[in-house]
Structure 1
Amino acid sequence: MNWNLKAFDTLSVQELYAILKVRVDVFVVEQNCPYPELDDKDKLAQHLFLTNEKGEVIAYCRLLPQNVSFKEVSIGRVLVNPNFRKQDFGRELLQKALDVLNEQKERAIKIEAQYYLRNFYASFGFEECSEPFLEDGIKHVEMLRKN
């Protein structure tokens, strides 16, 4: 297995396809949530992902700079491929994302977390900073982590 951190312009066609496929599989199909998955933020993001020897994306998130989603940097589209869940890849992914942002000296990170995952994010130091709200029919909450 191999961890990758790449800017949009450095992703290969195969990597981009694998990332978009798993994102659609999880966020559109699995969550039964038709919404515009491609939002132009990908072009500004760093893409952190774990692949196996077949090139399948096992875990993925995108790291967004300040003033794209929030005034703070953000972590979004956090997922673990359904075929690889219950193996702690989600914890490993989030820790790697935080390590990258810490190396870049980011002081605050804001996310929109699915509400049922708020305790998972809290275990990494994120604190709820909004009331729960619906985003594309799914309950979310904004969370902030300060270093």
Structure 2
Amino acid sequence: MWKIKAFDQLTVRELHAIYFLRTKIFVVEQACAYQEVDELDLDAMHLFDTDFHAYARIIPDEAVTHIGRVLVHPDFRKQGLSRQLMNEAIAYCQTAYPGKAIHVQAQAHLQPFYGSLGFEPISDVYLEDDIPHLDMVKEEVNN
């Protein structure tokens, strides 16, 4: 089951689980020393499964909606959880922010995965914290 909450709706235990998992992946696993917890968390919607195996944050902007901090716990990868997570995130964006494109800052090796979800590259590959990334966007589809 998936939950999506604004920062002020998160329980202390949910916030701890989110920050613990994000730090585990983005700081420790990827060996990147950076300010992982930032001010964007305060305005983001936080999407996670009830067991905290997968997480993403959704940040509305004037022109586009950003999906970021997309992760799956290492013990639960290769089980389709990332696709489920992204499908939930995309559905939320299309409902909550209709008419807006959706942006992801994807690690370059994940371009085929995001491409399979309808995202198209809009930048060349660049380094972010010494990891190759590229910007990708999914244009709003009118139903």
* Same fold? TM cut 0.5: yes
% identical equivalent positions = 45
- 1 CA distance for matches of 2:57 and 2:99? 15
Q: May I ask how many residue pairs the two structures share in their alignment?
A: 139
Q: TM-score, normalised by structure 2?
A: 0.94
Q: TM-score, normalised by structure 1?
A: 0.91
1:41 is paired with a residue of what secondary structure? helix
Q: Give the equivalent residue in structure 1 for 2:91.
A: 99
For structure 1, the 5+ residue unaligned runs are none
Change in 2 beyond 3 A, CA 1:106/1:80:
farther
Kindly report structure 1 stretches of 4+ aligned residues shifted beyond 2 Å: none
Q: Is the contact made by 1:73 and 1:106 (CA closer than 8 Å) also made in structure 2? A: no
The alpha carbon displacement at 1:106 in A equals: 3.9
Q: Give the equivalent residue in structure 2 for 1:19.
A: 18
Q: Deviations over 1:48-80 (max 9, x none)?
A: 00022xxxx11000000115xxx4110000000
The alpha carbon displacement at 1:46 in A equals: 0.3
Among 59, 64, 68, the alignment partner of 2:59 is 64
Q: Deviations over 1:32-57 (max 9, x none)?
A: 111110111000000000022xxxx1
Over the aligned positions, Cα root-mean-square deviation in angstroms equals 0.9
Q: Give the equivalent residue in structure 1 for 2:41.
A: 42
Of 80-89 and 10-19, more deviation after overlay is shown by 80-89
Among 50, 67, 74, the alignment partner of 1:82 is 74
Among 81, 90, 109, the alignment partner of 1:116 is 109
